[in-house]
Chain A
Amino acid sequence: QKEVEQDPGPLSVPEGAIVSLNCTYSNSAFQYFMWYRQYSRKGPELLMYTYSSGNKEDGRFTAQVDKSSKYISLFIRDSQPSDSATYLCAMSLFTGNQFYFGTGTSLTVIP
């Protein structure tokens, strides 16, 4: 079993829709949870970062962590064509410098 599982999609939505992207994980010791956006042929860009459980909001983006279910989500409200990209989730422990990544979900927002 992989440490982090992420549905690769592809996911296609109309402009203005609410998008939900999800990852599940197996290691209950993960404490830091990250979401990255990666445009084609570019490096991943850090979008959201949360520590432990709870929600974090930044503009149209909301990151949610449910440690009891080992499940994290990224919600995108009022999706735009510029949101079309691959979204990667990542996790790490409280100490150490190792990171665990999902394989990414490809999202297309249709105008």
Chain B
Amino acid sequence: DGGITQSPKYLFRKEGQNVTLSCEQNLNHDAMYWYRQDPGQGLRLIYYSQIVNDFQKGDIAEGYSVSREKKESFPLTVTSAQKNPTAFYLCASSRPTGSGNTIYFGEGSWLTVV
């Protein structure tokens, strides 16, 4: 089945450690995104990428990094510089412009800093 796969589903991290969240899609979408979702705050954009080897900062990029070496993959690293990393992280991808502008989400990854 086509879709977006995020792993791990749950992750615990000690303060001061970096952690990488995986996101893979087989929808053949060019654009991919990372959002953070906190209770009562809606979705906030961390990074997005429209093509391979290119990505742009979103509204809350500080303390995060990404790479886009393959069309299918867009991993997110939460670094120790992120002051409040405990959150629900969502990866998404969107259909090409001109063929219906919709966005699809993975199942999410829960990160808890202990």
Residues of A whose CB lies within 8 Å of any CB of B are 8, 31-32, 34, 36, 41-46, 49, 51, 88, 90, 92-99, 101-104
Contact = CB atoms under 8 A, between A and B. Distances in A.
A32 B102 contact: yes
Interface residues of B, number: 26
Contacts of B40: 8, 103
B94 A99 contact: yes
A49 B48 CA distance: 22
Contacts of B98: 95
B95 to A, nearest CB: 9
The prevalent SS among residues of A at the interface is loop
Contact of A93 (B30, B43, B101, B107): B101
Q: Identify which of A46, A88, A98, A99 gathers the most chain B CB atoms within 10 Å of its CB.
A: A99
A43 B105 contact: yes
A34 B105 contact: no
B100 A51 contact: yes
A43 B103 contact: no
B78 interface: no
A43 B107 contact: yes
B43 A101 contact: yes
Contacts of B108: 41-43
Contacts of B4: 43
A96 B104 contact: no
A96 to B, nearest CB: 7
Contacts of A42: 107-108
B101 A31 contact: yes
